Amino acid sequence: MTKIQETGDKVLANVERVIVGKHREVRFALVALLCRGHLLIEDVPGTGKTVLAKAIARSLGCSFRRIQFTPDLLPSDVTGLSIYNQKTQEFEFRPGPIMSQVVLADEINRATPKTQSSLLECMEERQATVDGTTWPMPDPFLVIATQNPIEYEGTFALPEAQLDRFMLRIRLGYPQLTEEIVILDEQKRQHPIEQLEEVCSGDELREMQAAVREIYVDPSVADYIVRLVSATRSHPDVYLGASPRGSIALYRAGQALAGLLGRDYVLPDDVKALAESALAHRLIIKTSSTIHDILPGQVVAELLDTTPVEGVNPIGSGGTHGGPREVVAHASAAEA
C-alpha cells in the first residue's frame, strides 16, 4: 500500500501545482481513476473543471481528448464512424474522440439525449459498437464530465442511467481569497499547466488499479455500506434511491481512498467521507419534498447520522490482535 500512497501523493502534488486549494476534490478525482470509475464535476464556469482533467492527463502521461457537447453534436461525433475508402473498396473505421484514455465531456448536459446515450455503453462496458462492430476502449479509461448547475436554458437533464454511471460527483467551488491571489501570481506570465510533467506511467497506474482491488474490506464495513445505500430507498423524502451500482461505487471508492491514505484496509470513516459524492447524484427527491428545499446531500448527511456501524467485535474477542479486522472493529465500535 506504500506504493499506492507514494505514487498517489506525487500525482496529487503535481495536479495541485495547477488546482490550488482543492486537496479533497483532487484526491476524490484520483479515487475515481484508481477505481476505473468516472467523474462528474458540477460547478459554475471558470472554477477549473477543464484544467483538472488536463492536469490529470498530463500527470499520468495519458492521451487526452476533449468533446464539446452542443445540441447539434451527433453520436457518431463521439464514438466514430465507418467511411468508405474508394481505393480499397472497403469501409474503414475512424475512431471518435471517446477512444482516448482521459476524455473530458465538457458541458455534457447541452447535448441531446440521443448523443448522451452514446456514452452509456462506453462508460459501463468500456466498448463502443459502431455499425455492428465492437471496439474496446483504451486502458486506462476515464470520463470526466462537467455541467453548469446554474444555467439550464438550452440544456437536457442527464437521465438517471447516465448519472448512475458516474462513480463520484464533486464540486470545486470558488477558491479562498489567499488561494485566488496565488492563482493570479502563478498565471502572471503563462499557465502552470504548460510546465506539468508525467509523474506516473500508464503501467504504474494499471498496477495501482489492480492493487486497490486487494485492499481489505471488513464484513462489518460492507454491511454498513449496504445498509446505508438501502436506507436511501426507504427514506420518506426520496422517490428513487441509490442502485446496487451505488453500493459497488462506495465499496470500490473506499478501497481506493484507503490505499491513497497508506492503509491496506477500509475504515467506516472512509465510507462516510465518500458517501455524499458517491450517492447524492443517484437520488431523486420527491416533488413534495423539493418544495421544502430538501436536497439529496441533506438526505445522505441525515442517513450518515442515523445509520450505525453494527456487527463488529471489540478487540480481543477473537482473531489475531492488531490485524485489519481488529483495527476496523475498534474504529467502527468507537463510532457506533
162-173 pLDDT, tens per residue?
999 999 999 988
Q: Are residues 200 and 334 in the same domain?
A: no
Per-residue pLDDT tens digits for 180-233: 898 888 888 788 888 888 898 888 899 999 999 999 999 999 999 999 999 999
Mean pLDDT of all residues in 39-45:
89
Tell me: do 85 and 120 sit in the same domain.
yes
Check residue 61 and give its pLDDT.
Answer: 81
Quick one: 107 and 181 in the same domain? yes
pLDDT of 323: 46
Cβ contacts of 310 within 8 Å, gap of 6 or more:
220, 223, 224, 227, 336
Q: What is the CATH number of the domain that holds 249?
A: 1.10.8.80
- The x, y and z cell numbers of residue 37, run together, are 470509475
How many alpha carbons fall within 13 Å on the CB side of residue 142? Answer: 29
Least confident range of 91-95, 136-140, 149-153? 149-153
pLDDT at 132 over 90: no
Specify whether 4 is located in the same domain as 65: yes
What pLDDT, on the 0 to 100 scale, is given for residue 324?
Answer: 45
- pLDDT band at residue 1, thresholds of 50, 70 and 90? low
Residues 228 and 271 sit within 8 Å (Cβ to Cβ): yes
pTM to 2 decimals? Answer: 0.85
3-state secondary structure 138-200: CCCCEEEEEECCCCCCCCCCCCHHHHCCCCEEECCCCCCHHHHHHHHHHCCCCCHHHHCCCCC
pLDDT at 2 over 50: yes
Identify whether residues 144 and 237 lie together within a single domain. no
Residues 199 and 291 in one domain: no
Q: How many C-beta atoms lie closer than 10 Å to residue 322's C-beta? A: 9
Residues 75 and 186 in one domain: yes
Q: What is the pLDDT of residues 287-308, one digit of tens each?
A: 888 888 889 999 999 999 998 8
Strand partners, 42: 147
Which is nearest to 162 in space by CA: 38, 4, 334, 335? 38
Final residue before a domain boundary, out of 211, 240, 271: 211
Which residues does 204 contact at the CB level (< 8 Å), separation at least 6? Answer: 7
44: containing domain: 1-211
| Rounded Cα gap, residues 149 and 45, in angstroms | 10
Residue 311, pLDDT score? 62
- Confidence check: pLDDT of 179 > 90: no
- pLDDT of the residue at 142: 92
- Mean pLDDT, rounded, of the chain: 86
In this structure, the answer to whether residues 220 and 202 fall within a common structural domain is no
pLDDT for 333 equals: 41
User: What pLDDT is attached to residue 313?
Assistant: 45
Residues 153 and 107 sit within 8 Å (Cβ to Cβ): no
Q: Are the CB atoms for 138 and 99 separated by under 8 Å?
A: yes
d(CA 180, CA 136): 41
| pLDDT at residue number 103 | 92
- In the chain, what's the furthest Cα-to-Cα distance? 76
Cα 61 to Cα 200: distance, rounded to the nearest angstrom: 7
- What integer is the mean pLDDT of 231-243? 91
The CATH number of the domain where 168 resides is what?
3.40.50.300
pLDDT top residue among 331 and 149: 149
Where is the domain boundary, 174, 191, 211?
211
Range scoring the smallest mean pLDDT among 172-176, 253-257, 327-331? 327-331
Q: Does position 332 have pLDDT exceeding 80, yes or no?
A: no
Cell of 336: 457506533
Distance spanning both ends of the chain, measured CA to CA = 27
Name the DSSP letter for residue 152. Answer: -
| pLDDT at residue 154 in the model | 76
CB under 8 A, 24+ apart: contacts of 285-294: 285/237, 285/238, 285/239, 286/237, 286/238, 286/239, 287/239, 289/236, 289/237, 294/237
How many C-beta atoms surround the C-beta of residue 140 within 10 A?
18
**CA atoms in the 13 A half-sphere facing the CB of 272:** 16
Do residues 207 and 219 both lie within one domain? no
Kindly state whether residues 224 and 325 are assigned to the same domain: yes
